[in-house]
Amino acid sequence: MHIVVFLAPAVLIYSVFSIYPLVESLRLSLFDGLEDGTAVWAGLENYATLLFDPNWATQFWRAFWNNLVLFFIHMVVQNPLGLLLAALLSLAPRFGSAYRTLIFVPTLLSVVIVGFIWELILSPLWGVSETLLGTIGLAWLYQPWLGLESSALTTVSLISVWQYVGIPMMLIYAALLSIPDELIDAARVDGLNGWSIFWKVKLPLILPTLGIVAILTYIGNFTVSFDLIYSIQGALGAPNFATDVMGTLLFRTFFGQQLQVGDIHMGATIASMMFFIILVGVSIYLALVQRRLQRYEM
């Protein structure tokens, strides 16, 4: 009984702000709206329209692909960088608090502020990036990266990496500090030192944490990515939808900047598709973890 009393507020809040909106989105995605405002049962028709109708499918698959590109860049840039920073900081934990703070601070900044600052830095009119490159003799490298279709998505992704690299760094750093000193001492007795200890002892022990970082990165690229792209490139995913992701497509559809005015049913369909995509990724991760645990038990 005491457990129920303590858990009830958390369960109530979670149900109101998470479970109910999810269930309502799934319900709305199964209906279609008429001109008089009434809703009629549509079944899976909205999903078929989103996936196969040329007016919707082109934008949906483009947004989905851009989300995958975001995920790939974060996996190959942000997470290895977070691993490297955590490994370096773990070598001198007493003197690393200032560096940890500096690296983690961008994570605490408002996405609007981050977007505005980087727009100022990269602007071809008044930005300082061209000048900074010129001071080191690399002015020829400068391009209006946010304004080119070929580079806009990569540029936004790297801005996101700069802002959020502190999260994987702190998670991995905590995992490294939790490794018993006895194991490190035993490795030194066996003749290992420096990076050999990291690769052969520490890295295998923090693989579960790396898996958690990977799945959080996957989820974040379908949810958090909207904020930064909207603040920098707007709801249309400029230029020419090159940075359009499922979050911006959902926003345009739900608030009437898409094919129809305020189509909440198609908006709910897109939101439900985002949920299913995230669910598939998380399910695969959990299946792999369960398979690994069963292998160890055998």
With respect to residue 30, please indicate whether it lies within any of the assigned structural domains: no
pLDDT for 127 equals: 78
Proportion of the chain above pLDDT 90, given as a percent: 45
Task: Identify whether 167 is part of a domain.
Answer: yes
| Of the candidate ranges 89-98, 130-139, 242-251, the one whose mean pLDDT is the lowest | 89-98
Taking 80 as the threshold, does the pLDDT of residue 259 lie above it? no
Rg (CA), the chain: 23
Region 201-229: what's the mean pLDDT? 90
Which residues, in sequence order, are CB contacts of 19 under 8 Å at separation 6+? none
Asked if residue 2 is part of any domain, the answer here is: no
Distance (Å, rounded) from C-alpha 73 to C-alpha 223?
16
b (16+ CB within 10 A) / e for 177-216: eeeeeeeeeebeeeebeeeebbeebbeeebeebbebbbbb
Is 29 part of any domain? Answer: no
pLDDT digits (tens, 9 = 90+) for 156-182: 999 999 999 999 999 999 999 899 888
- Has residue 18 been placed in a domain? no
45-59, 122-136, 249-263: least confidently modelled range: 249-263
Q: Nearest to residue 166, comparing CAs of 99, 114, 73, 70?
A: 99
Contact 274, 250 (CB under 8 A): yes
Look at residue 19 and tell me if it is in a domain.
Answer: no
Q: What domain range is 174 assigned to? A: 55-297
Give the chain's domain count. 1
Q: What's the confidence (pLDDT) of residue 260?
A: 47
What is the per-residue pLDDT across 194-205, written as a single tens digit (0 to 9) for each?
788 888 889 999
Q: Is residue 266 part of a domain?
A: yes
For residue 261, the model assigns a pLDDT of: 47
Residue 278 lies in a domain: yes
Q: Which CATH number belongs to the domain containing residue 169 in this structure? A: 1.10.3720.10
More confident residue, 146 or 17: 146
User: Is it the case that residue 184 has pLDDT exceeding 80?
Assistant: yes
pTM of the model: 0.89
The pLDDT of 140-163, averaged and rounded, is 92
| Average pLDDT of the residues in 258-278 | 80
